[in-house]
Every structure is written in C-alpha cells, then in structure tokens.
Amino acid sequence: MLALIVLRMKRLLILIIAVLACSADIAIADCVETACVDVYTKNNQIIIEAHKGTSSTIKKPSRVKPSPTATLWFPPKPTPSPKPYVKRTYKPRILTPKSVTKSANLSDRLTKLVPTAGVAFQPAFEPLTHVPVIFWVDVPTIFQSKVSIIGETVDVALRPGFIWSFGDGAMWATTNTGAPFPKQTITHTYSKPGTYSVVLLTTWNGSFTHNGAVRAISGEIVNASVATVTVVSAPTRFTK
C-alpha cells in the first residue's frame, strides 16, 4: 500500500514538472512573438517594464590558408650540382570560426508618479467647537495613463482610498474624495478647542491593460498629507 502511494506521488511530481516546463517554454515563446509587460510599484512610484525578442548565434565561415608544397631544385649542367634542396613544408593553419551573437532584444523601463493629495477644510480660519468642519482632498477619483513602450501600448488605471485621522483620536476610512460646501460628504466635529494635526493616508491600487488583457498592479502606493486645524470656542452671550 505504501509503495503504491509513493509511486502515485512520483507520477504526480513528474506531471507537475512537465507542466511547469511547458509553461516556461510558452512564456519564452510569448516574449519572442509579443512583448512581455509588467507593471509594479516601487518607492511610491509606478514602474512599467517591457521586453521582447531573443538572441541568435551565427558562426563566421572559416578561412583556411593553402598549405605550401615541397619542390625540388636542380642546378644547371655541367657544373657539379649540390644536393637537391627541399623546401620545408608547413602544416596548414586552421582558423577556429568565431561566434557572433546577433541581438534582437528590445527592453525599456518607464516611471510614473501618481498625484499627491492635499488636505483642504472649511472654514479655513478658526473653526468653532461643536460645529462640523468640512474636509476634502484635491485628487481625481481615478488616475489613468496611456504609455507607449517599445512599440506597445499599456493603459494604467489606479484608484485611491483614504484614511483620515482628525487629531483627536477619531478616524475615518473612505474612497470618497469629499467636497466643499454645499456638497460636503466628509465632516468632523471637535468638542474641545485646540490645535489638531489632521493626517491623511492615501493608498493607490489598480490594474493595467495590455493587448486586451487586464492584470493587477503588484504592490501599492501610500502617500501621507498633514494639515493643521486650530479650533476655538464659540463666544458666549448672555441675554436677559
């Protein structure tokens, strides 16, 4: 029973190795016929890479010099003739053909930056306690870019997500950019006067399209923005 299980596992392992080898051959062939494109994030930037082609090796034809032949020389009569002089023969020199690599590779790398979010709020001067403060961010709801690289067209699209920290312990996560009055969607009310540091974390995620295929962009981009809000108490009036 144990031997049968081991035999089945060996067959399964051989099948997996064969499938992986075929996949690698297909991937190499794809990069020869059409460009291979990859989009990922690094250091809060969008990196677009593409490569296409392969290399072939061609041998130059070898040139062989003709080998010298031995010739006999006889002096004229009637003078006594010396011994015949035989010219020395040399072995032919065979030149080893040199390999010349023809490169047909195309590769390139491009870098893109996403918009930086800035925090805006109303009222801009000394908001009051117990009165909602309106917040919004001035970035598009979608970032799109069409890139041409080694003759290929790549469409990149990313959408932002936001995490607000209002400085008094309250936080809010949303995909909404907000808007100023009267279309406000993000507000926060402070209960105590003071100076608050509002921190906004913007996270970008998205996908890219190449030859009709849509693939996810590896990684994410995170940017931080800070604004200072000074909240004051509303004046108190006594009436009879």
What is 40-90 written as a DSSP string? EEETTEEEEEEEE--EEEEEPPP--PPPP---EE-PPSSSPP-PPEEPPP-
- The closest alpha carbon to 201, from 223, 178, 219, 176, belongs to 223
Supply the pLDDT for residue 183.
96
Alpha-carbon distance 63 to 73, whole Å? 31
Q: What pTM was estimated for this model as a whole?
A: 0.64
Radius of gyration of the CA atoms of the chain, in A: 39
Residues 6+ apart with CB under 8 A from 186: 134, 135, 136, 164, 172, 174, 176, 178
Tens place of pLDDT per residue across the chain (240 aa): 656 665 666 676 676 665 555 544 444 446 777 789 999 999 999 999 998 876 444 445 556 566 666 556 656 666 656 666 656 666 666 666 555 444 456 788 999 999 998 999 999 999 999 999 999 999 999 999 999 999 899 999 999 999 999 999 999 999 999 999 999 999 999 999 999 999 999 999 999 999 999 999 999 999 999 999 999 997 766 665
pLDDT for the residue numbered 85: 61
CATH code linked to domain 115-231: 2.60.40.10
